[in-house]
Amino acid sequence: MFRYLPIENEVFSPCLGRYRTFGLRVLRSGEEGEEEVMILPDISTDFAFALRLAGLFTAKQLDPIHLLDIIEDML
């Protein structure tokens, strides 16, 4: 089972200065507990968007192999 969690990062841009971005952390549950499968750190500056994606992808059990394609289509 995959579990998607929103994550927060602080980044710096010479033009914008410091700002926060939100991404996703993907965990897989197994016999030995949870293991981190993937981190996609910078999807959006909108936390609510990242939170909705995490809930949707967890509910639908999106395989992380498709994550980058889905994110690209959504943006």
Three-state DSSP string of 15-73: CCEEEEEEEEEEEEEECCEEEEEEEEEEEECCHHHHHHHHHHHHHHCCCHHHHHHHHHH
Q: Number of folded domains in the chain?
A: 1
| Average pLDDT rounded to a whole number, residues 61-65 | 96
Tell whether the model's pLDDT for residue 14 goes beyond 90.
Answer: yes
Tell whether the model's pLDDT for residue 32 goes beyond 90.
Answer: no
**If we measure between CA atoms, which residue out of 30, 71, 29 comes closest to residue 52?**
71
Domain residue limits at 28: 2-74
Query: Model's pTM, two decimal places?
Result: 0.89
